[in-house]
Amino acid sequence: MMRPRIKSKKIDYFFVSLVFLLTAFGLVMLTSASSDLGKIKFNDSYYHLKHQIIYGLSLGLAGFFIAANVYYRRWEKLALIFLIASIGLLGLVFTPFGVLSGGAKRWLALGQFVFQPSEVVKLTFLIYLAAWLDKDKNRARHFITGFVPFFCLLAIIAGILLVQRSTSAIIIILTATIGVYFVSGARLKFIMIFALIGLLLISLVVRFTPYRLDRIMSFLNPQSDPLGKTYQINQTLMSIGSGKIWGRGYGQSTTKIHYLPEQIGDSIFAVIAEELGFVRTAGLIVAFLLLIWRSFAIAAKSNDNFAKFIAIGFGLLIGSQTFTHIAALTGLIPLTGVPLPFISYGGTTLAVFLTMAGIVTNISKYSHKA
């Protein structure tokens, strides 16, 4: 039974402002990062910007305003349906509807609409997990009825993503969902068991998939093959370093076309650092930190566990994906392809994160602690 609504307050305008500030900044930086590429490939400097607006921003804004105005508890009834549907979409990637790109099948093409199901799963799994944990307040503390089903569902999703070579998506989903599971009251020994099993499985996967092993070796020795396997990390480090304190200036990157791979997606932070420099790039990181903090603050103000888990999960998703993107490009972790939330080119990612932000905005409207 849906709980009665409490008297609503104003939405958290600071949270909303941060979301749209980052979105606007992303469009501005995408314009710079993609202009030369669009001109060369499509004879249109604004090709990628137009696509981002049509397929990402428009859908994302629609998702945001719908989610911001629909009472968040309504998503609880649809949680299981959404999750099953999104897992089904993951499976469709292996059918003729799947699109092969960069040696991996991660995208679906339904007519002219191409999207990445793994991004949708981040949203649906988070909503389902919040609803599942809220239904039984002590579920997370039980091994058989709590930990085992949680682990099995996570393993199914991770297994499908593993076959799709979406390692980064697995990392992001694991971080967010395990974090939510832990704050729901899970015993620490369950988390330790999960960590040990996870490390063992990851070690086996890396050992028997050469391209993943190559990434680990490139991380350990980035100068081993500067024109081959370690080319991208070396180029990103040079791009970031060349920005120095204040940057070369907007639109003045010298590496984004001929040297920097994936400059509008997985490497966009390097373009930002080169053009805007350390100080302004630090400002971007502060904006992400404020967004994460505000998500946790909204969770802390709510007496509703379902709302609390969603807000915490959103903050963890933003935090883990932002950290993974920046850390990979600065050599702190092995290189992995993950878009920077609200910034990188990719309509699915932008639409999903804006929709998530809409749900958290609605939660802030009904948060009622003093």
- pLDDT value of residue 261: 84
Instruction: Work out whether strand 113-115 and strand 104-110 pair parallel, antiparallel, or are unpaired.
Output: antiparallel
Give, in order, the Cα–Cα distances in Å from 337 to each of 170, 263, 268, 321, 333: 12, 11, 11, 10, 12
Report d(CA 98, CA 21) in Å as an integer: 34
* Sheet architecture: strand order including 113-115: 98-101, 104-110, 113-115
Neighbours of 96 (CB within 10 A): 7
For 278-319, the pLDDT digits (tens) are: 999 999 999 999 999 999 999 999 989 999 999 999 999 999
pLDDT of residue 314: 96
Residue spans of the chain under pLDDT 70: 1-8, 102-104, 224-228, 368-370
pLDDT tens profile 123-173: 999 999 999 999 887 888 888 888 889 989 998 998 898 888 888 888 899
Q: Which residues contact 282 (CB under 8 A, 6 or more apart)?
A: none
Backbone torsions φ then ψ of 104, nearest 5 degrees: -135, 150
The model's pTM is: 0.92
The whole-number pLDDT of residue 368 equals: 59
- Please report, for the chain, the start and end positions of each structural domain, with discontinuous segments joined by +: 21-366
Mention every residue, 6+ apart, whose C-beta is less than 8 A from residue 218.
Answer: 224, 225, 229, 230, 233, 334, 335
Check: CB of residue 82 under 8 Å from CB of residue 355.
no
pLDDT at 316: 96
Report pLDDT for 370: 41
- Give the side-chain half-sphere CA count within 13 A for 100: 4
* 284 contact partners, CB below 8 Å, separation of at least 6: 25, 272, 276
Kindly report each contact of residues 223-231 with a partner whose C-beta sits within 8 Å and lies 24 or more positions away, as own/partner.
231/261
What pLDDT, on the 0 to 100 scale, is given for residue 187? 83
